[in-house]
Amino acid sequence: MTPDDEEIDWQVGPTVPGARRPALLVLADGTTFEGEAVGWAPPDGVATGEVVFNTVLSGYQEVITDPSYAGQIIAFTCPHIGNYGVTPDDDESLRPHCRGIVVRDLARRPSSWRSALDLDTFLVRHRVPGLTGVDTRRLTRHIREAGSMAAAFGTASELTLKEAALAEPGTEGVDLVASVTTERPYTVGDGPLRVVAYDFGIKRTILRHLGRMATVEVVPAGTRAAEVLARQPDGVFLSNGPGDPAAVVGAASAIAGLLGQVPVFGICLGHQLLATALGGETFKLKFGHHGGNHPVRRLETGAVEITSQNHNFAVADGSLRRADVTHVNLNDGVIEGLRCRDAPAFSVQYHPEAGPGPHDARYLFAEFARLMAASAGSGGSGASRASRASALPGGS
């Protein structure tokens, strides 16, 4: 999310759906799917990226505008997409960063009092290509068996698309954060605490949650630990973001420099980067976790949370030496949360802000507030922090 990006023109006007041209989706392994082109039309008829599937039943606009999808083509398993249109209130960033979308049936006419545009027009305005009429059930089953892979789609020939798919580098080993992070710091929120939030691809709903408890200064992904500490924050937030955590230049070393100096809370990519800073290792999942219905067990209480997730990489089990595992995915056993043993720092793999998704994990923002208040009360950064913490409900 960058403050320099141009805002979309949301002025409602008449739109006439254009004729849908036959198009193909070709995976790097040669598997081909037929459909029709929608959204923006690339001049050469080719769009490429790593194709993944998302299982949300609603919230497609939040998914499409989530910067964590940089470099990826989103295939929606829900058959009807676009039926309630789009509205500026639901954008998670100023523009989509995904490479395109694939759906079974793109609604031609949205039906909702909140709708400002139809999804097709939204895709055109943001230069996002799409494909409709695809057998997304077959596509999803194939990805589950073969794994996420590079793909190309569009109106070009099958041979051209196959060559483009083979040439697509995918997301492994690529620093995609550099393409989505803010270029300069900016401030949101008016809460009593002070938080510095690393923008690895941060979402607006996350900033709304943080802004209720703190004045939040959002900083570029490459900001050094010394620059953060010079701002004298009560806490540091590590945001979600796209791609391979091992490829994000300088992030793990910056986080290592913050540990023990200030409370830290990370989610999604921020969780993986915190684990890396603690000496852990990460790996790429076969087809990732993308959806709003992933069950996660909170080990402390045994409670099961239904969570919103969007990531292709995870923390390797057994690689953590300075942290305890706090949450586990009940589908595949992947580590979903950790807490540092020797510093006030914790993280989760999923998205507690529920944008979109269930609200089961929103308590984690309150946990972060309590951690900052406790650190301030113990003399973490002096009287100014303690006084700010006392302004919170239940603050010290």
Q: Is the pLDDT of residue 394 over 90?
A: no
Confirm whether 13 is domain-assigned. no
Q: Is the pLDDT of residue 214 over 70?
A: yes
HEC letters along 61-82: HHHHCCHHHCCEEEEECCCEEC
Confirm whether 12 is domain-assigned. no
pLDDT at 357: 82
Kindly state the tokens that stand for 116.
């400002």
Domain that holds residue 324: 177-390
Q: Are residues 97 and 125 in the same domain?
A: yes
Q: Give the integer Cα–Cα distance in Å for 292 and 179.
A: 25
Q: Are residues 182 and 85 in the same domain?
A: no
Q: Give the integer Cα–Cα distance in Å for 252 and 255.
A: 5
Q: Are residues 158 and 185 in the same domain?
A: no
Residue count of the chain, please give it: 396
pLDDT tens-digit map of 259-269: 999 999 999 99
Q: Are residues 147 and 295 in the same domain?
A: no
pLDDT tens-digit map of 226-259: 999 999 999 999 999 999 999 999 999 999 999 9
Q: Are residues 289 and 321 in the same domain?
A: yes
Is residue 145 within a helix (H) or strand (E), and if so which, with residue range? Answer: helix 136-146
Confirm whether 7 is domain-assigned. no
Kindly state the tokens that stand for 268.
């999604």
Q: Are residues 112 and 219 in the same domain?
A: no
For residues 276-292, give the mean pLDDT.
96
- Known catalytic residue: 305? no
Please write down the long-range contacts of 339-344, taking CB distance under 8 Å and 24 or more positions apart: 340/259, 340/264, 340/274, 340/278, 342/260, 343/259, 343/260, 343/264, 344/260, 344/262, 344/263, 344/264, 344/371, 344/374, 344/375
CATH of the domain at 197: 3.40.50.880
Confirm whether 11 is domain-assigned. no
Cis (ω within 30 of 0) for the bond into 356?
yes
Confirm whether 8 is domain-assigned. no
Q: Are residues 148 and 295 in the same domain?
A: no
Indicate the average pLDDT of the chain: 91
CATH of the domain at 84: 3.50.30.20
Counted domains in the chain: 2
Instruction: Label residue 379 by pLDDT band (50, 70, 90).
Output: low
Q: Are residues 141 and 161 in the same domain?
A: yes
pLDDT at 361: 85
pLDDT at 155: 97
Confirm whether 30 is domain-assigned. yes
Identified catalytic residue from 98, 142, 217, 268: 268
Q: Are residues 139 and 197 in the same domain?
A: no
Which residue, among 172, 149, 143, 48, has the nearest Cα to 99 in the 3D structure? Answer: 48
Instruction: Label residue 358 by pLDDT band (50, 70, 90).
Output: confident
Confirm whether 14 is domain-assigned. no
Query: In the chain, where do the E strands start and end?
Result: 22-27, 32-39, 47-54, 72-76, 80-81, 100-102, 105-106, 129-132, 149-154, 186-188, 193-199, 214-220, 235-238, 264-267, 282-298, 304-315, 323-329, 335-340, 345-348
Which residue, among 178, 209, 203, has the nearest Cα to 71 in the 3D structure? Answer: 178
Q: Are residues 143 and 187 in the same domain?
A: no
Q: Are residues 80 and 186 in the same domain?
A: no
- Known catalytic residue: 268? yes
Confirm whether 209 is domain-assigned. yes
Listed residues 107, 132, 167: the one ending a domain = 167
Q: 66 with 203: CB under 8 angstroms?
A: yes
Kindly state the tokens that stand for 109.
């006419």
For residues 56-83, give the mean pLDDT.
97
Kindly state the tokens that stand for 110.
């949205």
Which residue, among 362, 321, 315, has the nearest Cα to 334 in the 3D structure? Answer: 315
Q: Are residues 119 and 42 in the same domain?
A: yes
- Tell me the backbone φ, ψ of residue 142, rounded to 5 degrees: -70, -45
- Known catalytic residue: 351? yes
pLDDT at 277: 97
pLDDT tens-digit map of 74-117: 999 999 999 999 999 999 999 999 999 999 999 989 999 999 99
pLDDT tens-digit map of 129-167: 999 999 999 999 999 999 999 999 999 999 999 999 999
Listed residues 167, 186, 212: the one ending a domain = 167
Q: Give this prediction's pTM.
A: 0.90
Listed residues 167, 197, 215: the one ending a domain = 167
Q: Give the integer Cα–Cα distance in Å for 115 and 60.
A: 13
